[in-house]
Structure 1
Amino acid sequence: MEVTGFIAAGESATALAYIKARRGLSPRQIMLIILICTLAVGIPVGAGLSGSWFAAAVSVEFAFIGTLVGSLIVQRLTGPMMRRALAERGQAYEHPFTFRLTPEALVYDSVDLTMTARWSCVTDIYKTRKYWVFLVQSSAIILPRRFFNTPEVERAFIAEATARLTEAARLRSPDTAAFLRD
């Protein structure tokens, strides 16, 4: 069983935020911790040095706003810069992609790159809003949900993938069980 479609360069980075959360801290959690620490440490230290809680709070708030504006600028520049860098190397921004389930393995095939993962090393599968993520040891292989023409095709594909997982991997994949139940 297989599905095909086009995948954009860097698209997997979107899904990686969810992957990091399953392994530890997500980028959003890291940013929240940094911002809370900025407030929790910056205001008292600033108040101690300046003698004014108000002045310290205003300074830290402006630092907080600067961090958010900088993050937005980086986010806006990343896509166009990646496209330009790929074009300079003669690479396309989008590639045809095939995701195949065989009795022995999961196969990811995108133009010049083919990855094969035996089912025994697929540790779990989970669903995000836009992707199915297959964790293969410490790496992730993403499958865009838009590749499925209908919910029935998606359900059949995920059912087959789930059936090929080891029992331990099925237990670590509650998203697949919930998806197949609904």
Structure 2
Amino acid sequence: MRIAILVEGATEMAFRKKLHEFLQSRLEQKMPRLDFKPQHGGIPKEKKLKLIVENFLDNDGYDSVIALTDVYTGKQDFKDANDGKDKMRRWVDKNPKFYPHTALHDFEAWLLPYWKTIQKLAKHNRSAPSGLPETVNHQKPPSYWIKEIFKIGTRGKDYNKVIDGMAILKNNDLMIAIKACPELKSFVNQIIYLCDEEKIIF
């Protein structure tokens, strides 16, 4: 099983290793080949997305294509997670081998469950944003909160999406974020379902 995963850019690439480790432990011999395909600035729209998806499926031999986009893109492209998924699905003419997914409101929501680790890395005790991670909204998206604590912390360095994203995830259990973030759970379960539906997370 070969799966191409379209991602926006650097932040999601930091997530790749942790996701691979988690899936390998769950799927074992049925582990697919996952190829992250960074789109450098955002998942393409409309006809461009359709062409990219069809190229991966028809010419590059992938069995499935998954797209992962932030709901908060800075351009108000999507009203919410469902709107983002619906639009991407329409753009590719409902190709049955294409699976759209979103991070609410951006990828860093999936890092918020590890706030104690974030505090330690930033060297500051600022409290986590209130509410569930994926309810942190457009006005102050999750990335804002992480950038702010690094800015006011005593570490003396700004938040780096790749380096610090990997450091936050490194020694933490991905299942903690999966249980706290329904959209992350949906994304992970999509991969699992394609390989071994008996192993999906309930």
Classify the TM-score, shorter chain: under 0.3
Please give the TM-score of this superposition, normalised by the length of structure 1.
Answer: 0.24
Which of the pair is proportionally richer in strand? 1
